[in-house]
Structure 1
């Protein structure tokens, strides 16, 4: 976390120099410059303030708190965006953490506005919120399970039952449609928005339609853990545990706990090199820490915690950290992230969400 504070203080200065328009998204560790977005474009801009809030939660100073506030506030207009499901990622990483820590009404107002924006994407016929806009069908991706936190939190704060119902219905339908019998996940489910039936199940970022994209599986574990946090609905917890156990039995081995970008590609692709995805590992580790709180037995609790610690320790090692390679120049934490699908999109890169969920996992572990 000290290293994170140093790296992200440098990024904060870059944010200031850009007059508030620099939000890191991904970057080649060999380069000094991130590929960035603005405060109101893309889907990754919430993770920069999110990392800063994690740093504040770990060791607050007046200066770090001001940095977090400064970087969060410009993203507020995104709460009015109805054209994407990613409003949940953007707002909860920044304003969600800000409100949790400071309880300021102005932060809650942004969360409520964002939840109502996301709710406009709900179809009572499909019983899900739309992920990607498409004229050909109603598309829902497994990533979208993470955005339900926005709806649940806003419902909690306002007592608006309709927001809770939307989130619950989306989680419930996802539980039945996105999982295979072995508790691995499909990335995309395309529904018929006229009658709600399933048209097809496929991948956009994984190796194949039948394979398991590692970050998608991590989203599933994390998202159903959050859904259980708010609902205490036992099937959501059971699904989170089952999805987590799938990951634990498909990691490379007991001492190599960072997944490849797709759990099946390493065994089936003709490409001799297969990249890891440190973001999938970070998301999973953070989820495991919270999931351990709800584990029904002490053995399961300990298993989840020990694996979370092992993953965080490995991610924090010179193998995957930017400081581990003297040729790396990027001001970031993690290397070896993969956007997917490989090799079409960037791989062996730093990803803003990888840094966010790693620091979240560390903060959660530190509270134990």
Structure 2
């Protein structure tokens, strides 16, 4: 966490000099500058602030509070967006943290506004929240499970049962349509917007339509764990456990806990290179820590915690930590993230979301 503080404090001042008009997205460790995206154009833009909220909760100082707040304030306008499902990612990783820690009513109002915006993307025929706007059909991605936290939290704070119901319906439909019998996940499900029927199931960032994109599987574990946190609906917990067991059973080996970017990409070949995805590992580890706390069977709870700790330890090892590679100059924490699909999109890079969920995992482990 001290290393995260050092790296991201330097980044804070760099982006402050640019008036916080854009935030880091992905970066190549051998290069100085991150690839940045405008405030309103990425699901990742709340994570810069979110890293500082994680640091604040870990070891509070006035300096960290100021940086977290400065990076959060420009995101307020995201709460009004209705053309993206990512409003949940952005607002809950920034204002969601801030309200939980500080309980300021103006932060809650941002959460409420954002929930109202996100709810406009719900279809009663499909019983889901639209992910991507498309002329093809009503598209829902497994990542969208993470945005439900916004609706659940806003409902909890305001007693608005409608928002709770929308989130529950989305999770319930996703539980049946996005999962295969072995608890692996499809990335995208396309629905018929008129009658709610399924048109097709495929991938946009994975290896193949039949394969399991590892970050998507991590989103599923994390997302259904959050859904259970708010609903205590046993099938959501069971699905999170099933998805977690699938993830753990498909790691490279018993001593190698950092997954490849897709579980089914041919990484056993000595000829075909397949990159890892440290962001998937970090997201999964963080979700696994929370999931372990809802499990009453001690053996399973210990199994999940042991694996979460192992993943965090490996992410913080010389193999992945930017600090330990003398050739890396980017101000970030971990390398070897993959945007997907490989090789069409960038790979072997730092991701702000990988760094965010790693700090979240460390924070959660520190509280046990």
CA contact (8 A) 1:339 1:346 kept: yes
Per-residue deviation, 1:15: 1.6
Distance 1:270 1:157 in 2: 53
Distance between the aligned counterparts of 1:260 and 1:70, measured in 2?
Answer: 35
Q: Aligned residue for 1:323?
A: 323
> Aligned pair 1:266/2:272, yes or no?
no
Per-residue Cα deviation, 1:257-276 (whole angstroms, up to 9, x for no partner): 00000000035889611000
Contact kept, 8 Å, 2:260 with 2:267, in 1: the verdict is: no
- Taking the aligned partners of 2:268 and 2:119, their CA distance within structure 1 comes to 40
Q: Report the CA distance shift for 1:155/1:336 in structure 2 as closer, same or farther (over 3 A).
A: same
After superposition, the C-alpha distances for 1:191-223 in whole angstroms (9 at most, x for unaligned) are: 000000000000000000000000000000000
Partner secondary structure for residue 251 of structure 2? coil
Give, in whole Å, the separation in 1 of the partners of 2:40 and 2:215: 24
Deviations 1:257-311 (A, max 9, x none): 0000000003588961100000000000000100001113011110010000000
Q: Distance in 1 between matches of 2:105 and 2:117?
A: 18
Say yes or no: does 1:220 pair with 2:220.
yes
Cα RMSD after superposing both structures: 1.0
The correspondence of residues 79-94 of structure 1 with structure 2, limited to 5 A, is: 79-94=79-94
Residue aligning to 1:185: 185
Q: CA deviation at 1:326?
A: 0.6
Unaligned 5+ segments in structure 2 are none
The residue that corresponds to 2:18 in the other structure is 18
Mean Cα displacement is larger for which, 120-129 or 8-17?
8-17
Contact 1:119 1:166 in 2 (8 A): yes
What is aligned with 1:347? Answer: 347
Distance 2:269 2:182 in 1: 21
State the distance in 2 between where 1:261 and 1:59 align.
33
The Cα shift of 1:155 comes to 0.2
1:286–1:358 contact (8 Å) kept in structure 2: yes
Question: Match of 2:122?
Answer: 122
What's the CA shift for 1:342? 0.1
Q: Which moved more, 1:54-63 or 1:264-273?
A: 264-273
Q: Distance in 2 between matches of 1:226 and 1:270?
A: 39
CA distance in 2, matches of 1:91, 1:281: 23
TM-superposition CA deviations, 1:76-131 (whole Å, max 9, x none)? 00000000000000100000111111111111100110011000000000000000
Cα distance, 1:37 vs structure 2: 1.5
Q: Does 1:208 align with 2:180?
A: no
Shift of 1:41: 2.2
**What 5-or-longer segments of structure 1 have no aligned partner?**
none
Rounded to whole Å, the distance in 2 between the matches of 1:364 and 1:176 is 30
Residue in 1 that maps onto 2:102: 102
Asked if the contact 1:14–1:22 (Cα under 8 Å) also holds between the matched residues in 2, the reply is no
| TM-score for the superposition, normalised by structure 2 | 0.99
Distance 1:365 1:89 in 2: 22
Q: Is the 1:266–1:274 Cα contact (8 Å) retained in structure 2?
A: yes
- Kindly indicate whether residue 368 of structure 2 is the aligned counterpart of residue 358 of structure 1: no
**Within 5 A, what are the aligned runs for 1:127-138?**
127-138=127-138
Distance in 2 of aligned mates of 1:317 and 1:185: 29
Note if contact 1:260-1:266 (Cα within 8 Å) is conserved in structure 2: no
Q: C-alpha separation between the residues in 2 aligned to 1:83 and 1:346? A: 26
* Runs of 4 or more consecutive aligned structure 1 residues displaced over 4 Å after TM superposition: 267-271
User: Aligned with 2:266: secondary structure?
Assistant: helix
- Number of residue equivalences: 368
CA distance in 2, matches of 1:209, 1:271: 23
Aligned to 1:33: 33
Shift of 1:190: 0.2
Q: 1:39: Cα distance to partner?
A: 2.2
